Amino acid sequence: MSLTGAMTIDVEDYFQVQAFADVIDRESWERWPRRVEANTEWMLEALAARGVHATFFTLGWVAERHRGLVRRIVAAGHELASHGYGHQLVDRIGPEAFRADLARARAALEDAGGVAVIGYRAPTFSIGPHVPWAWEILEETGHRYTSSLFPVKHDLYGTPDAARVPFRPAGSSLWEIPLTTVHGFGRNWPCAGGGYFRLLPYAAYRGAVRHLHRREGRPQIFYTHPWELDPGQPHIPQARLSARFRHRVNLGRMKTRFAALLEDFAWDRMDRVYADLLDPSRPC
């Protein structure tokens, strides 16, 4: 059994990741050499070569500075979605700052891309049952889905007891579409990309997805970032050793792995993979 999974790209630069937030403040972002456009262009070419469309969860900060890149994402047939504006953790900034961040990001994205933005992914998966107001604000601001909840245990993020399948928060028309996990040995295991995908053997991911298709009959979500395919990016020596390891592990292998991923599975945009859920005529 083979299902079409959702290919997603979180468009941010290497200096904007949460792992470096304690040593790189937002006020200094303009001083760092930007590599996001060249890295995203490589991904666009790789996707086009295999006829794959994806969802690009893009920072509003990036969209304001790389309008041409946003236009090329849309022109290539990909879904443009929001990653917020300034990569701030939702559960730390509070409701009003979150609402402002969403509005600023959506304005930047829709102005650059010329299309409506209905999807959202929180930076570092910082949405969950502990901040129910975030889902309410997303619905209020016109978003129709979010893929922001990761039901795993991790020191930086995760809600291990959360639902593993798409759900509507109570009383909402918004869909939360959690990142993919497989369940075994009494816990959820990540099966969605990111650092785990770079660290573990590629065969482990491939086998887990096939298990998910066969046993649960549902598609997977894969996520990565443009910087994850860029071993030439600057080092951040002032960051903690653990952060540097997580960030840089196997960057040099990612282009090969990404190409294999596109060959081994069928992929499409989030809004098409989950079109039956996102149909506005579907009752709440």
**Which domain range does residue 264 map to?**
4-278
Percent of the chain with pLDDT over 90: 87
Q: Is 245 within a domain?
A: yes
pLDDT at 202: 96
pLDDT at 80: 98
Q: Is 284 within a domain?
A: no
The tally of domains found in the chain comes to 1
pLDDT at 8: 98
Please report which residue ranges of 50-199 form alpha helices under DSSP H.
60-65, 67-75, 90-93, 95-113, 132-140, 194-199
| CATH number for the domain harbouring residue 204 | 3.20.20.370
Per-residue pLDDT tens digits for 148-167: 999 876 655 667 778 899 99
pLDDT at 156: 58
Please report which residue ranges of 87-183 form alpha helices under DSSP H.
90-93, 95-113, 132-140
Please report which residue ranges of the chain form alpha helices under DSSP H.
36-49, 60-65, 67-75, 90-93, 95-113, 132-140, 194-199, 202-216, 241-248, 254-264, 270-273, 275-278
Q: What is the DSSP string of 246-276?
A: HHHTTGGGHHHHHHHHHHHSEEE-HHHHTHH
Closest CA to 261 of 233, 220, 231: 220
Ranges of residues in the chain with a pLDDT under 50 are none
